[in-house]
Amino acid sequence: MSQIVACRTDTGIILAADSHAFGVNAKGKIVEVKINRMLQLTSNTAIVTGGAAEGEMMCRNLKDFISEENLAVVETPGHAPHHLSFSYNGNLFAGEACGNYYSVRNTDYLRPATPPRFFLDVFLRSLDRLMGLGVQHICYSHFGDAPNSCQMIERFRAQILRWKEIIQEEMSYGTDDLLTRCMDHLLEQDPDLAGFRHMNPEMQDREKFFAANSVKGFIGFLQDVG
């Protein structure tokens, strides 16, 4: 709990976990979270703004804050051991528990965020917890959203298992150029990566870096389990 920042402003509640910040106003619209509104908590407290002088903040017990605001905090280790997701007012703020999702020229791009060390069973259990919350509007880290969280979680689970099969197959052919072979095969065979071909070269280079890191997570896991 010490890694959560929960802020109430005149537009709604702002949540921040780790270095990522998410916000939704009373109408369920995403609001910008400025870096100067993010504070590191070191105890079981919440930071609350609004209802006082501009810029004034006060601390409240975090458990009371969660209860009073009807805010659900879900432990979703997988992307990182300490990863948390939030459910509030019909909105699921999944962080990177459900990957990264956005549209490029009206073509979806969904990519796992599974850096080393990656544990597939832990990751899938986190998806089960989020599925158990029921259908919500899902908001992804950085940007991207979708109206039906359960549909997106099911789609993402299928992608995770698809990556496992593809990477496992490439590993069976040996270690030479393994990372390159995995990347090439995934870009050819995973329909959820279709948006990659519409990216500009700079975006493609960035995504190749993050995707390769996610592949390394799978390779490490599969090597560990034999």
| Complete DSSP assignment for 168-187 | HHHHTT-STTHHHHHHHHHH
Mean model confidence pLDDT for the chain? 82
Counting beta carbons within 10 angstroms of the beta carbon of residue 208, is it exposed (0 to 12), middle (13 to 18) or buried (19 or more)?
A: middle
Q: Among the residues of 69-148, which ranges form H helices?
A: 120-131
d(CA 102, CA 87): 20
Q: Which residues pair with 131 in a beta bridge?
A: none
Residue 72 pLDDT: 86
Residue position matching structure tokens 């390779």: 219
Contacts with 102 (C-beta within 8 Å, 6 or more apart), sequence order? 109, 140, 143, 144, 195
Q: Is it the case that residue 156 has pLDDT exceeding 80?
A: yes
Rounded to an integer, what distance in angstroms lies between the CA atom of residue 86 and that of residue 95? 8
Lowest pLDDT segment from 51-55, 105-109, 207-211: 51-55
What is the pLDDT, as a whole number, of residue 129?
A: 97
Give the domain 71-226 fold.
Answer: Metallo-beta-lactamase; Chain A (3.60.15)
For residue 24, the model assigns a pLDDT of 56
Segments of the chain assigned to CATH 3.60.15.10: 71-226
Tell me, what's the pLDDT at 28? 56
Confidence category of residue 29, pLDDT binned at 50, 70, 90: low
Check if the beta carbon of residue 21 is closer than 8 Å to that of residue 38.
Answer: yes
pLDDT of residue 80: 84
Query: Looking at residues 75-104, what average pLDDT do you find?
Result: 91
The H-or-E segment that residue 68 falls in is helix 62-68
Residue by residue, DSSP assigns 152-166 as HHHHHHHHHHHHHHH
- Of 91, 82, 66, whose CA–CA distance to 20 is shortest? 82
58 phi/psi in degrees, rounded to 5: -140, 155
